[in-house]
Amino acid sequence: MKLTRRQQQIYDYLREHAGEFAHPPTYDELCAHLGLSSRGSLHKHIQALVEAGVVEPMEGRAGIRLSEWGREEGIPHLGAIAAGRPIEALPQPEFLPVPDYLLSDRPCYVLTVKGDSMVDAGIMDGDLVVIEERDTARNGEIVVALINDEEATLKRLLNNDDGSVTLIPENATMQRMVYPAAAVRIQGVLVSLLRRY
Amino acid sequence: MKLTRRQQQIYDYLREHAGEFAHPPTYDELCAHLGLSSRGSLHKHIQALVEAGVVEPMEGRAGIRLSEWGREEGIPHLGAIAAGRPIEALPQPEFLPVPDYLLSDRPCYVLTVKGDSMVDAGIMDGDLVVIEERDTARNGEIVVALINDEEATLKRLLNNDDGSVTLIPENATMQRMVYPAAAVRIQGVLVSLLRRY
DNA sequence: GAAGGTGTTCTCTTTTCGTTCTCGTTCGTG
DNA sequence: CACGAACGAGAACGAAAAGAGAACACCTTC
């Protein structure tokens, strides 16, 4: 998907000003903003963008516009998870591009880690964790667990023989906790981790 | 394949300013930046760089630009870094796709971490670290340091007032080490971290 | 149905850009 | 001094990109 310079410039403009247009801009409007005087010329560029797959045309037959980037590509970043509180959802999920080798085959989402409850496992405050959506987990996996339908936490899971469940914080200063199986609902399993410095 | 002085200079410029050009610069732009007034002269140099294999031409046939070693393919995974040993180079670097928000503007590469010397900083054995190619670092940054041209390690850096350098392993069981500045060469700075479970 | 806005298609010209060529200048080496 | 390599300037060429403008098809609205 190689774009020429002008195409890239137009694409950048579209992304930049996506929010400014209440509704998708018409070709004429775009021409005005871009300093073009011919819709035909613009159309050629748009066509190239469509072929490159970075833009989608408004198929609606009406007096039409071009639509821009409807593709929510990437993995949804749903919010933050802090031990002892519900997941803090973002008002609107952002979509983060995540390379394949950090994903599993099944649907995934991303959370920001708040707190230090897993530092000994190398999971620090502020890290991004990729979670595979799953309602069961094996022993020893690190899971997003919902306790009593209230608090969500990231902990290592241990299924006990007696049916109860132990959640282990990987932090020497914290206590492991045991719950009846019914009180704990698995919401996902840790797949990978991203950290920016 | 050795480069002439001017060729080396141009190549350095390309690498240095790789991030500044939103998209590959045109010959004219490069001429302006390099103080040349003839595209033809520049072309001769570029040609030499292409033949030397350090630069790739934009095969895009069109009114195009020259590209510099492609970030398109991903970030080169050069090998593993273990405290106290040279970097274990992969026979052939693999290229890992890494999303933009985990990169810096400057050229980066990826290493696999071996050992536990940075566990307290959340860097575990087997993690992938993205390193920005750089030969200087600020206090407190985590760097890839080459000691006595022999051992490479990942450590937190402290520039001491007396000119010496302290390398701090983030592991309570290990000792920090002090070296004369001349013995330590910075090879890169930690930018981000990836981990698969 | 008429009118106007809008995307599309077409042809044409202009501009940009990589490339190639010739010609000077400088510098180091034998 | 002669020769060649490195470097640069500038002109010229061909191809691709960019743009202009006209014509057309379609929808919506009146």
DSSP A28-57: HHHHHHHT---HHHHHHHHHHHHHHTSEEE
A-B contacts at Cβ under 8 angstroms? 66
Nucleotide C23 C1' to residue B40 CA (A):
13
DSSP code of residue A25:
P
The average pLDDT across A150-157 equals 91
User: Using N-to-C axis directions, what is the helix angle for A27-34 and A5-16, rounded to 10°?
Assistant: 110
Is A117 tagged catalytic? yes
Name the stretches of chain B with pLDDT < 50: none
Contact A170, A161 (CB under 8 A): no
pLDDT of A70 reads 47
Nucleotide D19 C1' to residue A95 CA (A):
36
pLDDT of B33 reads 86
Strand D at less than 7 A from CB of A36:
yes
Contact A152, A146 (CB under 8 A): yes
- Reported as a single tens digit per residue, the pLDDT across B82-115 is 876 777 777 766 778 888 899 887 778 899 999 9
pLDDT of B72 reads 54
Query: Could you tell me which chain B residue has the CA closest to the CA of A121?
Result: B122
Strand D at less than 7 A from CB of B7:
yes
CA distances from A23 to A16, A18, A26, A37, A58 (A): 14, 9, 9, 21, 11
Is A164 tagged catalytic? no
Asked if B63 and A96 come within 8 Å (Cβ–Cβ), the reply is: no
- Reported as a single tens digit per residue, the pLDDT across A5-51 is 889 888 888 877 766 666 778 888 889 889 999 999 999 999 988 88
Looking at residue A143, its amino acid is V
Beta bridge partners of B66: B57
pLDDT of A84 reads 63
Q: Does the model's pTM come out above 0.85? A: no
